[in-house]
Amino acid sequence: MAPRRAWQRMLSGRRLDLLDPTPVDIEIEDIAHGLAFVARWNGQTRGEWPYSVAEHSLLVEAIYTRGTARPEPRWQLAALLHDAPEYVIGDMISPVKDAVGPEYGALDARLAAAIRIRFGLPAALPAPVRKRIKAADKLSAWLEATQIAGFTEAEADRFFGRPDRSALDGLSLHLRPPAETRAAFLDRHETLLAVL
């Protein structure tokens, strides 16, 4: 019996082994392209365009940056790349992740470590940084849930925590064509790499 194929061919020509990903097979163009075409909330959002994981990642990085006294570019980059594995495995909503079980988390963790190493970050983030990125992620999820995913504020409070309203000031969601989102993601990545 032939072994199962556990790799994906990327548009860059790279062949990424999903079970044993190596940093050398990871390209930012593949990540940006994939994330720009992966819809958050299983596509169940209002608007003319799906709200992509790339848009979400840009928002999480912006929230992280706003909420950090003196943000270091490497941790801003980590925030931008926090959902990067989803360029390969897609964005599963939490109930699906729970149904799939721990194997999903292990796959996500392997991909995330390889991605971080590829861009000069530690394979495992320091706990305080991880915590701040997670807080930014939850704030983003609350905003997305109430503005485009049909949640009431009470529901969003229950699932994502009640946000500090001042943390939401000036934040807005962008729904735009994938090519524009991809370009914005690549631009932000390039800006952060330039100051590392």
pLDDT tens-digit readout, 10-26: 999 999 999 899 999 99
Residue 29 lies in a domain: yes
The CATH number given to whatever domain includes residue 93 is: 1.10.3210.10
Residue 79 lies in a domain: yes
The count of domains in the chain is: 1
Residue 150: predicted pLDDT: 97
Alpha helix (H) ranges present in the chain?
Answer: 28-37, 53-66, 73-80, 86-89, 94-100, 102-118, 127-147, 153-160, 165-168, 178-194
Residue 18 lies in a domain: no
What's the domain range around 153? 23-194
Tell whether pTM > 0.75: yes
Residue 195: predicted pLDDT: 96
Residue 7 lies in a domain: no
Residue 5: predicted pLDDT: 74
Residue 9 lies in a domain: no
Residue 163: predicted pLDDT: 94
Residue 17 lies in a domain: no
Residue 4 lies in a domain: no
Residue 84: predicted pLDDT: 98
Chain center to CA of 130: 13
Residue 104: predicted pLDDT: 87
Residue 74 lies in a domain: yes
Reading the chain (196 residues) residue by residue, the pLDDT tens digits are 766 778 999 999 999 999 899 999 999 999 999 999 999 999 999 999 999 999 999 999 999 999 999 999 999 999 999 999 999 999 988 888 888 888 888 999 999 999 999 999 999 999 999 999 999 999 999 999 999 999 999 999 999 999 998 888 999 998 999 999 999 999 999 999 999 9
Residue 131: predicted pLDDT: 98
Nearest CA among 89, 112, 88 for reference residue 11: 88
Residue 96: predicted pLDDT: 82
Using alpha carbons only, what angle is made at residue 184 by residues 180 and 179, rounded to the nearest 5 degrees? 25
Question: 23-45: per-residue pLDDT in tens?
Answer: 999 999 999 999 999 999 999 99
Nearest CA among 145, 139, 196 for reference residue 168: 139
Residue 101: predicted pLDDT: 82
